[in-house]
Amino acid sequence: GENVEQHPSTLSVQEGDSAVIKCTYSDSASNYFPWYKQELGKRPQLIIDIRSNVGEKKDQRIAVTLNKTAKHFSLHITETQPEDSAVYFCAAGSPARRSYIPTFGRGTSLIVHP
Amino acid sequence: DGGITQSPKYLFRKEGQNVTLSCEQNLNHDAMYWYRQDPGQGLRLIYYSQIVNDFQKGDIAEGYSVSREKKESFPLTVTSAQKNPTAFYLCASSGGDRWNTEAFFGQGTRLTVV
């Protein structure tokens, strides 16, 4: 099956700094890589995703990069704000494995200090 | 109001008792699934269903059971065989195909064994 590793487990930054969260996956058949944000006491919500036919995707202050050869993908948040504080999960999905139902990493707790 | 609804929000169970968590969606999604969330463990897949009257074990199915008699509903039973049932349980749904990969989550049920 798929195994998704996520680092770091905790990330503390100052407001305005950039934050980077890195993930690796094991199944070369995975071709869908979503990122979810879970604020304290709330449900996870999709913030951005990338498919294996592209190497990078941006949405305002958030970007994801994918290196298929290395089986590595990353989330980049620029100009961080206190409201970015949350737990972020990377995940991997495959059409052949559970119809894209995501396999999650263990999460990164991002703390943005004002 | 479209979405996915879990109930109850909090649940207390005595040791040795079975308990059922409810999950309902009105998004017309084919795929429904259950995750267990523990601190530092991320989201681990318990069971998933890609179509009515069919379901499959996820990565940590022991001590749990499910049914999928209706497209809208996917209840999870935590049985007395589950050795450490205290956790936060999240239900999710998605379209199950390459054009509808986003997982939509319920607000979760926090189960405590007393």
Pairwise CB contact (< 8 Å): A104 & B101: no
What is the pLDDT, as a whole number, of residue A41? 87
pLDDT exceeds cutoff 70 at A113: yes
Q: What is the pLDDT of residues B57-113, one digit of tens each?
A: 999 999 999 999 999 999 999 999 998 999 999 999 998 777 778 999 999 999 999
What is the pLDDT, as a whole number, of residue B114? 87
Contacts 24+ apart (CB under 8 A), A42-46: A42/B107, A43/B90, A43/B105, A43/B106, A43/B107, A43/B108, A44/A89, A44/B43, A44/B90, A44/B103, A44/B105, A45/B105, A46/B102, A46/B103
The single residue listed with the structure tokens 């990377």 is A90
Pairwise CB contact (< 8 Å): A98 & B50: yes
* Angstroms from A9 CA to nearest CA on chain B: 8
* Residue % of chain A over a pLDDT of 90: 88
DSSP at A113: E
Pairwise CB contact (< 8 Å): B48 & A101: yes
Q: What is the mean pLDDT of residues B24-45?
A: 94
**B27 touches A: beta carbon within 8 Å:** no
B77-101 burial string, b = 16+ CB within 10 Å, else e?
ebeeebeebebebbbbbbbbeeebb
Q: What is the mean pLDDT of residues A38-44?
A: 93
Q: What is the pLDDT of residues A55-101, one digit of tens each?
A: 999 999 999 999 999 999 999 999 999 999 999 999 999 887 787 88
**B44 touches A: beta carbon within 8 Å:** yes
Q: Which chain B residue has the Cα nearest residue A31? A: B98
B96 → closest Cβ in A9, A46, A100: A100
Name the pLDDT band for A1 (thresholds 50, 70, 90). confident
What is the pLDDT, as a whole number, of residue B1? 53
Q: Which chain A residue has the Cα nearest residue B43? A: A104
Pairwise CB contact (< 8 Å): B103 & A34: yes
